[in-house]
Chains A and B, each alone.
Chain A
Amino acid sequence: QSVLTQPPSVSGAPGQRVTISCTGSSSNIGAGYDVHWYQQLPGTAPKLLIYGNSNRPSGVPDRFSGSKSDTSASLAITGLQAEDEADYYCQSYDTSLSAFYVFGTGTKVTVL
């Protein structure tokens, strides 16, 4: 049911920069709705990482940044650390009849 497409996996060495894309359509991201990002560490509940396309909640390191353009969004992690190894999901609002909120397909980040 996911209508936001993410790469299944990305990897990088400690200290490197990785980016995760989130591609939507004219009924969600392309319609101007905000994109939010979540981090899910193994065996835990997801945690809000970025809200409103590029804003970090209190306590989230500034190594994490978000951006949005047209029908897509991106999450960047700079200075990759071992504890960043997790699953990441984007999320937005959708105006289609089949969904209200939609999530991305998810991306596994592996620290080499």
Chain B
Amino acid sequence: EVQLVESGGGLVQPGGSLRLSCAASGFTFSSYEMNWVRQAPGKGLEWVSYISSSGSTIYYADSVKGRFTISRDYAKNSLYLQMNSLRVEDTAVYYCVRDLGNAFDIWGQGTMVTVSS
């Protein structure tokens, strides 16, 4: 079964850091581009970051540029999002998403990140 499972969410103070992980299974991880998408409570979807299948091309939304870092580990079939200098407005459910020709065909269940003092 094709599956993405996120972990690493939690409660963190403003200015703090958190690292999200996404374990991929059921498909050839190295062949796919991947993304992180977030959804603030009661709000819409917001694309956060993209990484190419080779890891050589990376993009970020302006709202997280310079603070978040996306990476992937092919040996562990895992995607990561290192989040630094967290702000209250980063509070959201973060989804790991597989990219199939610019469409997001597989979504994880999401992990909640709460930034609050």
Query: Chain B residues with Cβ under 8 A from A2's Cβ?
Result: 44, 46
Q: Considering the complex, which residues of chain B in the window 48-65 have a beta carbon less than 8 Å from any beta carbon of chain A?
A: 50, 59, 61-63
Residues of chain B at interface, number, CB under 8 A: 22
B102 at the interface (CB under 8 A from A): yes
Q: Mark A1-35, 1 if CB is under 8 A from B, else 0.
A: 11000000000000000000000000000000110
CB of B7 to closest CB in A, whole Å: 15
Cross-chain contact A93 with B107 (CB below 8 angstroms): no
Cross-chain contact A99 with B47 (CB below 8 angstroms): yes
Q: Find the B residue at minimum CB distance from A97.
A: B62
The complex places the Cα of A93 from the Cα of B102 at a distance, in Å, of 7
The complex places the Cα of A102 from the Cα of B48 at a distance, in Å, of 10
Of the candidates B44, B47, B59, which one forms a contact with A106 in the assembled complex, judged by CB atoms under 8 Å apart? Answer: B44
Cross-chain contact B45 with A36 (CB below 8 angstroms): no
Q: Mark B75-103, 1 if CB is under 8 A from A, else 0.
A: 00000000000000000000100001111
Query: Chain A residues with Cβ under 8 A from B105's Cβ?
Result: 48, 51, 57
Query: Chain B residues with Cβ under 8 A from A92's Cβ?
Result: 102
A64 at the interface (CB under 8 A from B): no
Residues of chain A at interface, number, CB under 8 A: 27
* Given A1-B46, A103-B45, also A45-B107 (CB < 8 A): yes
Query: Chain A residues with Cβ under 8 A from B50's Cβ?
Result: 100-101
Cross-chain contact B63 with A1 (CB below 8 angstroms): yes
The complex places the Cα of A103 from the Cα of B63 at a distance, in Å, of 15
Cross-chain contact A46 with B45 (CB below 8 angstroms): yes
CB of B49 to closest CB in A, whole Å: 9
A105 at the interface (CB under 8 A from B): yes
Query: Chain B residues with Cβ under 8 A from A40's Cβ?
Result: 45
Query: Chain B residues with Cβ under 8 A from A34's Cβ?
Result: 101-103
Q: Mark B4-20, 1 if CB is under 8 A from A, else 0.
A: 00000000000000000
Chain A residues within CB distance 8 Å of chain B:
1-2, 33-34, 36, 38, 40, 45-48, 51-52, 57, 89, 91-93, 98-106
The list of the 7 closest CB pairs from A to B, nearest first, reads A51-B103, A101-B47, A106-B44, A100-B59, A36-B103, A45-B107, A103-B45
